[in-house]
Amino acid sequence: ETYGIKPERPARLYILDTGIDSRHEDLPSSATNKPDKQGHGTHCAGVAAAITNNRLGVASMSPGKDWIEVYGIQVIGDVGFGTQKSIIDGIILAADQGADVISMSLGGITNQEREKTYNEAVKYANATLDAARYSPANSENVITVASVNENLAKSGFSNHLQNITLGISAPGERILSTTPGNTYTAYNGTSMSTPQVAGLIAV
């Protein structure tokens, strides 16, 4: 219970990335996955759901350790690259395992065929949820997150959101978070903005 508020149940947050170091001291005990040789997935997991008010490391949008269960699916290899198939398979696996929120800090050049495939995967993920508990969703129901700096100006490495229906911004520069081996590192990127929004949605 936090600030007199208790979640009905923990949200199931899936990080589709390079893996998660589930032994990190500042991540919820639910964090599970293969070792993260890259560190990117562990960093994203900490931004989204690091344990708040435990006198260790960093804090996240999650007000307590019982609010979010973190699950990792490795869709990006140890050298930092993934395939469309691995990402689509990860979305489907997360949906089949009951994901409430899927966070993906990744992207690549698009074309019509890729867009169609991703739209179908997102449609599948949305269809596995209880529609009665959520606002109506359509097949394009993806929230796109841009990065801003401490002055709320768009980061130079971030795309803009002018033509995105579900667009939002979050801090993405010098974001300190968990990295493998009980370490903490500051990263820059929309990869850091996205899990902040995912963590807040999970709460």
Catalytic residues: 17, 40, 191
CA–CA gap between residue 22 and residue 74 (Å, rounded): 13
Question: What angle in degrees, to the nearest 10, is found between the helix axes of 40-49 and 190-202?
Answer: 40
Phi then psi for 94, rounded to 5 degrees? -60, -45
* Residue whose token pair is 């997102």: 122
CA–CA gap between residue 125 and residue 95 (Å, rounded): 5
Residues in CB range of 192: below 8 A, 6 or more apart: 43, 44, 47, 105, 147, 171, 172, 173, 175, 177
Mark out the alpha helices in the chain (DSSP H runs): 40-49, 84-96, 112-127, 190-202
Three-state secondary-structure class, residue 197? helix
Strand partners, 72: 15
Two structure tokens written together for 118: 């991703």
